[in-house]
């Protein structure tokens, strides 16, 4: 009963049980959090160009240009069970070809401890805003929403959409190409 092996076995089993209970408690304590925040989104200078995507069958696609303003404070979402927030800005719109389109224009990782105050002005999207087709020209209902994915220390991975969407409108004509 008191051999070295049985003692170390008991200690090991107890350690694992305590760790499991703590992890479960960590998960449960933040399970019902709303993780919501208000976001102020603005945009400027929306333009469309027609490009040929490499690798495709040579069809032309619409490429959207715009500048973005973003202001939000994520500090109150961080707690002991949030390891990281993955923020991503999504443009959602309908086209004739595809009723559902969701494109990530910009993303950022905020780790726990970093400054979670976002105040960006006049930035360009991080990723090309290319449509699967030519549905951006003249599209007057492209909705921008800031979402974030809460990465916990242990638990569920929710995706939350921020309060405060922004609608942009692309012009009916293509912007003049810089090349001939």
Partner 1 sequence: MGLLELSCLDEVRRMDKRQLYYQFLNFAMIVSSALMIWKGLMVVTGSESPIVVVLSGSMEPAFHRGDLLFLTHDRSEPITVGEIVVFKVEGRDIPIVHRVIKLHGNEKGAHFLTKGDNNLVDDRGLYAPGQMWLTEKDVVGRARGFLPYVGMVTILMNDYPKLKYIVLATLGIFVLIHREN
Contact footprint for partner 1 (CB under 8 A)? 3, 5, 23, 55-56, 83-84, 86, 88, 90, 97-104, 107, 109, 111, 127, 131-133, 147, 149, 151-157, 159
Instruction: Indicate the residue among 19 and 123 with the shorter CB distance to partner 1.
Output: 19
The total number of residues shown for the chain amounts to: 180
Residues 23 and 154: beta-carbon distance below 8 Å: yes
**CB closer to partner 1, 40 vs 151:** 151
In terms of Cα–Cα distance, which of 56, 93, 102, 99 is closest to 167? 93
Please state the closest distance from residue 15 (CB atom) to partner 1, in A. Answer: 14
- Least distance from C-beta 156 to partner 1, angstroms? 5
Token couple for 102:
């969701």
Task: Pick between residue 69 and residue 107 the one whose CB is nearest to partner 1.
Answer: 107
- Quick one: 17 or 121, whose CB is closer to partner 1? 17
CB-CB contact of 150 with 27 (8 Å): no
- Show Cβ contacts of residue 18 under 8 Å, excluding neighbours closer than 6 positions: none
């Amino acid at each position: 009963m008191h051999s070295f092996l049985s003692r170390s076995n008991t200690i090991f089993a107890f350690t694992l049980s305590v760790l499991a209970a703590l992890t479960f408690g960590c998960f449960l304590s933040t399970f019902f959090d709303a993780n919501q925040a208000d976001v102020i989104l603005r945009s400027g200078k929306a333009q469309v160009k027609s490009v040929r995507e490499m690798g495709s069958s040579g069809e032309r696609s619409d490429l959207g240009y715009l500048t973005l303003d973003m202001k939000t404070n994520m500090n109150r979402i961080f707690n002991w069970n949030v390891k990281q927030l993955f923020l991503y800005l999504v443009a959602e719109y309908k086209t004739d070809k595809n009723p559902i389109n969701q494109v990530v224009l910009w993303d950022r990782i905020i780790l726990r401890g970093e400054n979670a105050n976002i105040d960006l002005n006049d930035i360009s999207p991080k990723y090309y805003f290319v449509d699967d087709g030519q549905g951006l020209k003249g599209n007057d209902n492209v909705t921008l929403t800031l979402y974030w994915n809460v990465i916990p220390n242990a638990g569920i991975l929710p995706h939350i959409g921020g309060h405060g969407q922004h609608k942009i409108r692309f012009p009916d004509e293509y912007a003049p190409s810089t090349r001939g």
